[in-house]
C-alpha cells in the first residue's frame, strides 16, 4: 500500500502550481499561525497548566489568553463559556450526547436538520440506539430548514434542537434566529445547539446576540491547526462529560490541553477577524469568480445551494453532469487542484452526499459534484489557474463516459 501511495505522489512531481480548495476537510496553516505556535512546543508554556511551576503557569496563561480572544470574537459573557475540545467532531459529540445524557429526565426527543454534518448525524444515530427519539427536519431546494416542520416537531419531550448556522457542504446560511425563537416559544426548556464551524469567521455570528445555548466552532475550518475546536456553553446549560480522566482547565474535556493548537486557533481567529469585512468581501469575490467562471465555461453544470448573500462567502459546490466526481478529483489532483466530491464512489456505500440528496439532487448529480472552499489567503490568480484546469479535466472525464447513458 505504501508503494502505491509513493507512486501516486510521484505522479504529481513537476507540478508548477498547486491550489488547495479542500478546506472543508483540512487546511494548510498560514505561516503567521505556525510562527505563533512554534515557541509553545519547547520554548515556553510547555508545562501542564494545572501544575505549580513556571512552564505550567505559562501554559495556564496561554490557554486563558486564547480563551479570552475567542470569547471576544464569539461574544461570550465569561471565559468559562469557551470549552476547548480536540475538534468539531468532539465538540458536536459533547453538544449532542453530553446534553442528551444531562437532560434525559426531561425528555427523549432530539431534533436536527436533514443536512447536518456526519459528526452530528452519527451521534444522533447512536443516541437513537440508546433510547432517544430523533426527528430530522427537511430542507428546501436551497438547503433552508423548513421552519413549519420544525415547529410541528417540537413538543414537551424535546430536549435538544441542533441546526448548523451555515451548511458545511452547500453554504446555506440558515435562519438560526427564527429557528431559535420558534423552539423557545414552543418549549423554553429545549436546548438549542448550532454547529457554527462554517459560520465563525464567514458571517457575523455572536452567541450573546443570538442567545443560543450551545455553539460549536473549529480551528481547522478557519485556517487554524487541527486538534482544536470549542463548544460554547451558555451558563447553566447542562452538559455531561463524555470522557473521564484528569480534569485540567477544561471542565468538559479531560486530559492535558493541546496548548500550541489552542494558541494557533486563537491566532487564526485574530487573522480572520482582522479587517473582517474586507476578508468577507475578498472571499465573496473569489467565490463568485469561481462560480461564474465554471458556469460560463462549461455546459451541464448546476450550482448546489443558494447564491449571493444567502450563501456563505467561501462555499462553491457544483455538480457536473456526465462527469463522475471521484475520477474528476483525481484528474484535478494530477493538475494541482485539490477538491473533494460528493460522489459515493469514494466510499462505496452506493450513496452520495446526503446534503445534495436532501435538496433534491439526483444521485447522478450528487456523484458529479465538487466542493470547493476559498480562503482569505487565496489570490485571484489561484482562481484563474483553477478556472484553466477544471474545464479541461471535466472535458476529459466526460470523454471517457462518451455515449454511456447517464440519467
Partner 1 sequence: MSRTPLPYNPKILKLFRNPKNLGKMKDATAKAVAGNPSCGDIITLYLKINDEETIEDASFESYGCAANIATSSILTEMIKETKLEDAWKTSWKNVVKAVGGLPTVKLHCGILAVGALKRAIRVYYKSKAVSPDWLSDELTFEEKQALEEEELSDLLSKRMDDEGNVQC
Task: Tell me: does residue 14 bind partner 1 (CB under 8 A).
Answer: no
382-401 residues near partner 1, rule: CB under 8 A: 399-401
Q: How far is the CB of 335 from partner 1 (least distance, A)?
A: 11
Residue with smaller CB distance to partner 1, 51 or 118? 118
Residue with smaller CB distance to partner 1, 34 or 334? 334
Query: In this chain, which of 116, 143, 342, 389 binds partner 1, going by CB under 8 A?
Result: 342
Written as nine digits, the cell of 62 is 496561554
Task: Tell me: does residue 314 bind partner 1 (CB under 8 A).
Answer: no
Residue with smaller CB distance to partner 1, 208 or 347? 347
Task: Tell me: does residue 1 bind partner 1 (CB under 8 A).
Answer: yes
Residue pair 294/387 in contact (Cβ under 8 Å)? The answer is yes
Residue with smaller CB distance to partner 1, 83 or 343? 343
> To which H or E segment does residue 233 belong?
strand 229-233
| H helical segments located in 140-275 | 147-153, 176-186, 207-210, 259-273
Task: Tell me: does residue 8 bind partner 1 (CB under 8 A).
Answer: yes
Region at 240 (left for phi over 0; alpha for psi -120 to 50; beta for the rest): beta
**CB-based contacts of 219, cutoff 8 Å, min separation 6:** 87, 225, 226, 227, 228, 229, 261, 264, 265, 268
Residue with cell 450528487: 366
Residue with smaller CB distance to partner 1, 234 or 373? 373
Residue 345 among the catalytic residues? yes
Query: In this chain, which of 184, 330, 377, 391 binds partner 1, going by CB under 8 A?
Result: 330
85-124 residues near partner 1, rule: CB under 8 A: 114
Residue pair 365/357 in contact (Cβ under 8 Å)? The answer is no
Residue with smaller CB distance to partner 1, 8 or 28? 8
Task: Tell me: does residue 327 bind partner 1 (CB under 8 A).
Answer: yes
Residue with smaller CB distance to partner 1, 151 or 326? 326
Q: What is the spatial distance between Cα 221 and Cα 27, in angstroms, rounded to a whole number?
A: 8
Query: In this chain, which of 322, 378, 386, 393 binds partner 1, going by CB under 8 A?
Result: 322
Q: Which stretch binds partner 1 (CB under 8 A): 70-78, 101-109, 201-209, 326-334?
A: 326-334
The SS3 assignment for 99 reads helix
Q: Which stretch binds partner 1 (CB under 8 A): 62-70, 250-258, 337-345, 378-386?
A: 337-345
Residue (of 306, 272, 266) closest to 166 by Cα position: 306
Task: Tell me: does residue 326 bind partner 1 (CB under 8 A).
Answer: yes
Task: Tell me: does residue 126 bind partner 1 (CB under 8 A).
Answer: no
Question: Is the dihedral angle over the CA atoms 128, 153, 236, 261 positive or is it negative?
Answer: positive
Q: How far is the CB of 21 from partner 1 (least distance, A)?
A: 13
Residue with smaller CB distance to partner 1, 47 or 342? 342
Q: What is the spatial distance between Cα 292 and Cα 176, in angstroms, rounded to a whole number?
A: 28
Task: Tell me: does residue 136 bind partner 1 (CB under 8 A).
Answer: yes
Q: What is the spatial distance between Cα 280 and Cα 375, in angstroms, rounded to a whole number?
A: 9
Query: In this chain, which of 222, 353, 376, 394 binds partner 1, going by CB under 8 A?
Result: 353
Query: In this chain, which of 371, 383, 389, 393 binds partner 1, going by CB under 8 A?
Result: 371
Q: What is the spatial distance between Cα 173 and Cα 164, in angstroms, rounded to a whole number?
A: 9
Q: How far is the CB of 275 from partner 1 (least distance, A)?
A: 31
The catalytically annotated residue of 27, 76, 113, 345 is: 345
Written as nine digits, the cell of 102 is 444531562
Burial 60-84 (b: 16+ CB within 10 A, else e): bebbeebbebbbebbbbeebebbbb
Task: Tell me: does residue 149 bind partner 1 (CB under 8 A).
Answer: no
Written as nine digits, the cell of 122 is 452519527
The SS3 assignment for 311 reads strand
Judged by the rule CB under 8 A, the positions of this chain that interact with partner 1 are 1, 3-5, 7-8, 11, 24-25, 114, 136, 138, 169, 322, 324-327, 329-330, 334, 340-354, 357-358, 362-364, 367, 371, 399-407
**Residue positions annotated with a catalytic role:** 345
Amino acid at each position: 500500500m505504501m508503494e502505491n501511495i509513493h507512486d501516486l505522489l510521484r505522479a504529481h512531481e513537476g507540478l508548477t502550481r498547486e491550489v488547495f480548495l479542500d478546506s472543508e476537510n483540512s487546511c494548510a496553516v498560514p505561516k503567521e499561525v505556525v510562527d505563533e505556535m512554534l515557541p509553545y512546543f519547547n520554548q515556553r508554556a510547555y508545562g501542564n497548566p494545572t501544575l505549580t511551576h513556571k512552564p505550567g503557569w505559562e501554559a495556564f496563561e496561554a490557554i486563558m489568553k486564547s480563551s479570552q480572544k475567542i470569547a471576544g470574537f464569539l461574544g461570550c459573557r465569561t471565559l468559562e463559556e469557551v470549552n476547548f475540545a480536540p475538534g468539531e467532531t468532539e465538540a458536536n459529540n459533547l453538544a449532542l450526547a453530553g446534553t442528551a445524557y444531562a437532560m434525559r429526565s426531561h425528555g427523549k426527543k432530539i431534533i436536527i436538520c436533514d443536512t447536518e454534518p456526519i459528526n452530528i448525524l452519527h451521534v444522533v444515530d447512536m443516541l437513537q440506539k440508546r433510547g432517544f427519539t430523533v426527528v430530522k427536519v427537511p430542507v428546501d431546494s436551497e438547503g433552508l430548514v423548513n421552519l413549519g416542520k420544525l415547529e410541528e416537531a417540537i413538543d414537551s419531550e424535546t430536549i435538544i434542537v441542533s441546526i448548523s448556522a451555515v451548511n458545511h457542504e452547500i453554504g446555506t446560511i440558515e435562519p438560526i434566529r427564527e429557528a431559535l425563537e420558534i423552539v423557545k416559544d414552543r418549549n423554553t426548556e429545549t436546548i438549542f445547539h448550532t454547529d457554527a464551524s462554517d459560520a465563525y469567521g464567514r458571517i457575523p455570528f455572536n452567541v450573546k446576540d443570538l442567545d443560543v445555548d450551545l455553539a460549536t466552532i473549529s480551528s481547522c475550518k478557519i485556517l487554524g491547526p487541527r486538534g482544536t475546536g470549542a463548544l460554547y456553553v451558555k451558563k447553566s446549560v447542562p452538559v455531561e462529560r463524555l470522557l473521564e480522566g484528569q480534569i485540567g482547565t477544561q471542565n468538559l474535556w479531560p486530559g492535558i490541553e493541546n496548548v500550541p493548537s489552542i494558541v494557533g486557533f486563537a491566532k487564526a481567529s485574530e487573522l480572520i477577524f482582522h479587517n473582517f469585512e474586507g476578508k468577507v468581501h475578498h472571499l465573496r469575490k473569489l467565490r463568485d469568480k469561481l462560480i461564474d467562471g465554471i458556469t460560463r465555461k462549461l455546459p451541464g453544470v448546476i450550482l448546489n445551494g443558494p447564491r449571493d448573500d444567502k450563501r456563505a462567502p467561501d462555499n462553491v459546490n457544483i455538480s457536473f453532469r456526465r462527469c463522475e466526481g471521484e475520477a474528476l478529483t483525481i484528474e484535478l489532483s494530477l493538475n494541482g487542484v485539490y477538491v473533494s466530491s460528493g460522489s459515493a464512489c469514494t466510499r462505496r456505500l452506493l450513496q452520495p452526499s446526503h446534503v445534495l440528496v436532501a435538496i433534491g439532487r439526483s444521485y447522478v448529480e450528487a456523484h458529479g459534484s465538487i466542493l470547493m472552499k476559498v480562503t482569505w489567503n487565496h489570490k485571484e490568480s489561484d482562481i484563474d489557474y483553477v478556472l484553466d484546469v477544471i474545464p479541461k479535466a471535466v472535458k476529459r472525464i466526460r470523454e471517457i463516459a462518451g455515449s454511456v447513458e447517464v440519467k
